[in-house]
Structure 1
Amino acid sequence: MLPSLFIAHGAPLLAIEKNEYTQYLQELAQTLPRPKAIVIFSAHWASYEQKVSEVEQYSTIYDFYGFPDALYEIQYPAKGELGVAKEIEKLLAESGISYRVENERGLDHGAWVVLHLMYPDANIPVVAMSVNPEILPQQAYQIGKALSALKEKDILIITSGGTVHNLRMANMASDENAADDWAVDFDKWLEKHLKAWDTESLFNYDTLAPLAELAVPPYGAEHFLPIFYAMGAGDARKKAVLLHRSYRYDNLSHCVWRFE
């Protein structure tokens, strides 16, 4: 059975860079059975209600500015998958989770940067999902849990965000691989409680985790919440595995977590 994955999407430049993290994401897809479809939650599709894409052919959204021209030349022409979208809607309804259908929106960089690195041929159908920045972690967990049955049908669930994603603290001029202590301490706290499947602590990370206000600032909750969607999708086995962790710009965390 396919796992669910939480993947940090980092900065848009990852799409054209060659480094430790981009190499890892390129190799990650080769370690997984080929999915029939991919369901992806992106932190850059913020919506105050759960949305499910019923899009036949996705456009590529360049939701950033001031980057090299090469980044704007990338196209990720993934096709949608109506059957999987309908299955998602059924599972959400059965769990009492409200949703709305989206028929037009393309893939933002939180989705296509990850997919471009893992599946560059864009030949696996995709269903995009929004992230609600105002819900509680336990609510995101329940949404993921509601969709866990998809994994038994060879559908890969990916959630895209960042465990430490505070661009006001990031040093974009830094080429160092070292990370600020506060970012590392937060990620280590997260690792301990994810591996223990300690949902009580994790759901209260904002008061329990060291320097959570820096790692997950109030304006950036939508980047952290995706880990709970992925975790919820692993509720049946409750096994979390840290696949990769590195840092850029002094504190931007590149974490990949696998939930069985």
Structure 2
Amino acid sequence: MMPAYFFAHGAPSLVLEQHAYTDFLKSFANTVKKPKAIVLFSAHWEQTTQTVSRAETYDTIYDFSGFQDELYRITYPAHGQRKLSDDVQALLAKNGIPSVFDDKRGLDHGAWAVLKLLYPDAGEIPVIAMSVNRHLTNEQQYQIGSALAELRERDVLIIGSGGTVHNLRRLNWRAEGVDAWAAEFEGWLQSKLEAWDTAALFDYRNQAPYAQDAVPTNEHFIPLLIAMGAGSRNRQAKLLHSSYQYGNLSLRCWQFD
């Protein structure tokens, strides 16, 4: 069965960078079975009702400013698969999760920057973009992923794209090491994920050290809980990559079997 994954998408410029994490992303496709489709939850698409893309072809959204000119010339014209969009909505409904379709919105950088590194040929694999909702409980986020878990049996790759330590105000653009508070938060998170301690994870704001520093707002953390929920049948979490930029911007990949 196809695992589910969480990928940190870092800064928008990730797609232009060369370091250990981008090397990992570029080699990822060689380590897994080729998926028949991708269902991707991006931290940069927020809606109060779960929204499922039903686009035929995606525009590329440049939802950032002040970066290299080259970044604004990158496109990722992925295409959708409306039958799969319908199936996604049906699975959500089966589990009591209301959803709506969107057939116009393109892919934001939380989606295309990661996909461009994982699967450079945008026409190769259909993509279904999914929104996140910061107003749900952490248990509800997990349940959204769990509702879609059976897609993995059909070789559909479920991806959550966000960031586990993501505080733009605490970035140090000249830092070479990792801030101790960020490493301590990630250490706590790793221990709870590997133990599949959902009770602690759902209460991370109260239990995790430096939670407010690591997760000042939860939209980037949500995709981790959704991807984890998609792995709720076997409950096995594996850290595939860990590195940092700018002192505390976490670049991690988790696999959920």
TM-score class normalised by the smaller sequence: over 0.9
Matches within 5 A, 1:117-156: 117-122=117-122, 123-156=124-157
| CA distances 1:176-195 after superposition (whole Å, capped 9, x unpaired) | 1x110000000000000000
Q: Answer yes or no: is 1:114 the counterpart of 2:114.
A: yes
One-letter code aligned to 2:244: Y
What is the aligned-residue RMSD (CA, Å)? Answer: 0.7
Deviation at residue 43 of structure 1 after TM alignment = 0.0
Q: Secondary structure at the match of 2:10?
A: coil
Counterpart in the other structure of 1:47: 47
Distance 2:110 2:17 in 1: 16
Deviation at residue 49 of structure 1 after TM alignment = 1.1
Identity of matched residues, %: 54
Counterpart in the other structure of 1:248: 245
Distance 2:174 2:154 in 1: 43
User: Which stretch shows the higher mean deviation, 33-42 or 23-32?
Assistant: 23-32
Matches within 5 A, 1:45-84: 45-84=45-84
Q: Answer yes or no: is 1:213 the counterpart of 2:212.
A: yes
Gaps of 5+ in 1: none
Matches within 5 A, 1:212-231: 212-217=211-216, 220-231=217-228
Distance 2:181 2:98 in 1: 37
Counterpart in the other structure of 2:255: 258
Deviation at residue 48 of structure 1 after TM alignment = 1.1
Gaps of 5+ in 2: none
Deviation at residue 175 of structure 1 after TM alignment = 5.3
One-letter code aligned to 1:166: N
Distance 2:118 2:24 in 1: 9
TM-score (norm 1): 0.97
The number of equivalent residue pairs is 256
Distance 2:164 2:73 in 1: 28
| CA distances 1:70-128 after superposition (whole Å, capped 9, x unpaired) | 10010001000111111101100100100111110000000000000000011111000
Deviation at residue 137 of structure 1 after TM alignment = 1.0
| CA distances 1:160-182 after superposition (whole Å, capped 9, x unpaired) | 000000001011x2251x11000
Distance 2:3 2:65 in 1: 34
| CA distances 1:144-168 after superposition (whole Å, capped 9, x unpaired) | 0000000000100000000000001
